[in-house]
Structure 1
């Protein structure tokens, strides 16, 4: 059995290293030309930062992994299949520590099982951008302000059969970036919802127990973020699709692998050309209706850098792959890789992580390793604490 575990481990490492070898050849100087670099721009990008340490340790893969407290972010439909009836988690991420030391993301979640088929959950995500000194046009200091954003979510998840579940989440988003220092701006507010689907099936592999999961989640589908009378921006509306395979090696050892595909559903920036074919102006197309923007997001890429529309649309899909090993359901080791094409942001990084589960408490840690030098995501570390209140009640029953 140890030989099987060793072989599976090396297969996972080879996959990760092969992907990284291709991506490591990127020269950041090439991204300075707008013909080469055309990311999708949205408001409140903090909503797309992986909040928990478990999925962050697996290359940001989580739409179809086994259910946990962070499912409210990755795919709320997974909550119907969560093992414990009542639990909470708290995650903390010091963000962009390579550049500054006072930006951070906190994520608090909790769930409660109503009955065998129904689960409700809530989550609060808070993003602090640190203290910023505001000045007037002459450079005179006005005040120091801490820009911040938060999102408050509520979820209802229901199992519709032995193997299938659905969920809906509602979300209120608040973004205060200027503290009304500029009389022409104000804090932004928006409302959004998520729709999640989850399918899980037990299978037999060579006489061993295994499980195959599939997940689909549409998130942050909602109103535009308004910071002024003349400026409205789309939320990071997103579609995440993926699968996960978990294999029970023996009574104590299990191994899982997860694969996610992720696509923003906001409009792609388009460009106009002059008579020589050069790109001269950008158009964000923020006047589109939300439903129209979602539909057109699948075919609106202008085809920069000599690409066809289809080629650029394919570049807008990010890929996450991760592996997770558990010993006796108590000790976990994780690794993963996240890939984003250079034309759409060029985020490429390895991740690794570990987890420990005790009777009532659990802890996860994840660490991010970029494949390029001087990357602002360098040295990103995440911490998560988990609480299983079922275990607290068990001795009294």
Structure 2
């Protein structure tokens, strides 16, 4: 019986450059776009960063969503406990029943340590199966999820590190009438770092703050769906910075910039015995991940094109109301995603918050058009403070 997975393939491919890798350029040459399975692991889950062009690795005022962007920031959170819930309908102009949701939380353990966890769930909607003759042969709800646990540790008044472990599961059609398919699953690890400082006048509130963040996410094995081929997961390097301008006691601006590099092999097609072969497809794990910075057939200039840039500006009034705008840019030769983002945020007595973001593609006809995100943020206890005294480094480790 012939099975059609059109909706699954469409949903996964359009959400990342995967679909481009199967195409050729105008000269008939394959496009060298790095690809991976389970691209949902790198989807922006929350509305705050979603309104800032998908930037967040060094963004200040950390909350529970930092589990995704950079959990090492959580030791500097103002509150000792937090929870966040986000929801995003995905490709809603093409497929009406796809969405992903993100639940995350953290708790400080003393002044210098925080533990956190998250669940990212991606529902790809209902897949319709048919026979070779077009006769209906049942349906299946495709779904993927990832569970993450993190430990963050402050090493000084301005610097912290975090380590995370993750379990991910991708069930595209296992359990359907096709006995050859099974869920793909694997474990992964993540490491992140964060540095921040500020110079501010206590009387006027004026000053400047600066931060730097970095994270390597999804360092793990390949996925196998029951066949002979295994697929890379989207290991990603994210580096970023944030500049904060304090206009006075009530008004401040955050300027953020993130750079992302997918650490998977770049396709490199060569003709061997009359057949076009991707010579980077069967590299071992370490050669694939760490060699991804120098494996593009076009050399260093092509490697630079594989870096996506996210930038945004966030305005806060009295830490209660926020307005945001951002921009995401990807090379036309590596997927061509380009879009403007915007959004707002509201905080009520620092205990409850809501954020909303909206995505506006630069090009008409983009499947990402009209994407919106909404996030709820909850804070349960006043924090022990990020500290300014030496005692903080030795208290309650």
When the two structures are superposed, what TM-score results if normalisation uses the length of structure 2? 0.85
Match among 71, 75, 83 for residue 80 of structure 1? 75
* More moved, 383-392 vs 370-379: 383-392
Tell me the CA shift for residue 76 of structure 1. Answer: 1.3
Tell me the CA shift for residue 291 of structure 1. Answer: 1.6
1:344/1:43 CA distance change after superposition, 3 Å: same
Tell me the CA shift for residue 229 of structure 1. Answer: 3.3
Match among 172, 176, 179 for residue 177 of structure 1? 172
Tell me how large the CA RMSD over aligned residues is. Answer: 2.2
Q: Which residue of 2 aligns with 1:361?
A: 352
Tell me the CA shift for residue 33 of structure 1. Answer: 6.1
Tell me the CA shift for residue 138 of structure 1. Answer: 3.2
CA–CA distance in 1 between the matches of 2:285 and 2:28? Answer: 26
Tell me the CA shift for residue 82 of structure 1. Answer: 1.1
Q: Which residue of 1 aligns with 2:374?
A: 383
Tell me the CA shift for residue 40 of structure 1. Answer: 1.0
SS at match of 1:228: coil
1:146/1:32 CA distance change after superposition, 3 Å: farther
CA–CA distance in 2 between the matches of 1:349 and 1:36? Answer: 25
Tell me the CA shift for residue 325 of structure 1. Answer: 0.1
Long gaps (5+) in structure 2? 1-22, 384-397
Q: Which residue of 1 aligns with 2:243?
A: 245
CA–CA distance in 2 between the matches of 1:244 and 1:198? Answer: 11
Judge conservation of contact 2:313–2:324 (CA < 8 Å) in 1: yes
Q: Which residue of 2 aligns with 1:310?
A: 300
Tell me the CA shift for residue 252 of structure 1. Answer: 1.0
Judge conservation of contact 1:232–1:286 (CA < 8 Å) in 2: no
Q: Which residue of 2 aligns with 1:230?
A: 228
Q: Which residue of 1 aligns with 2:256?
A: 258
Tell me the CA shift for residue 282 of structure 1. Answer: 4.7
Tell me the CA shift for residue 368 of structure 1. Answer: 0.2
CA–CA distance in 2 between the matches of 1:33 and 1:384? Answer: 44
CA–CA distance in 1 between the matches of 2:275 and 2:359? Answer: 37
- Structure 1 residues 10-89: aligned runs within 5 Å: 35=29, 37-66=31-60, 67-89=62-84
Match among 97, 103, 107 for residue 108 of structure 1? 103
Judge conservation of contact 1:37–1:342 (CA < 8 Å) in 2: no
Match among 187, 192, 195 for residue 196 of structure 1? 192
Paired positions, count = 356
Are 1:328 and 2:324 matched, yes or no? Answer: no
Tell me the CA shift for residue 207 of structure 1. Answer: 8.4
Q: Deviations over 1:307-333 (max 9, x none)?
A: xx1111111000001000000100000
Tell me the CA shift for residue 286 of structure 1. Answer: 4.3
CA–CA distance in 1 between the matches of 2:92 and 2:125? Answer: 12
SS at match of 2:358: strand
CA–CA distance in 2 between the matches of 1:68 and 1:99? Answer: 32
CA–CA distance in 2 between the matches of 1:137 and 1:33? Answer: 35
CA–CA distance in 2 between the matches of 1:229 and 1:168? Answer: 32
Q: Deviations over 1:247-275 (max 9, x none)?
A: 11011110010000000001111112489
SS at match of 1:195: strand
When the two structures are superposed, what TM-score results if normalisation uses the length of structure 1? 0.85
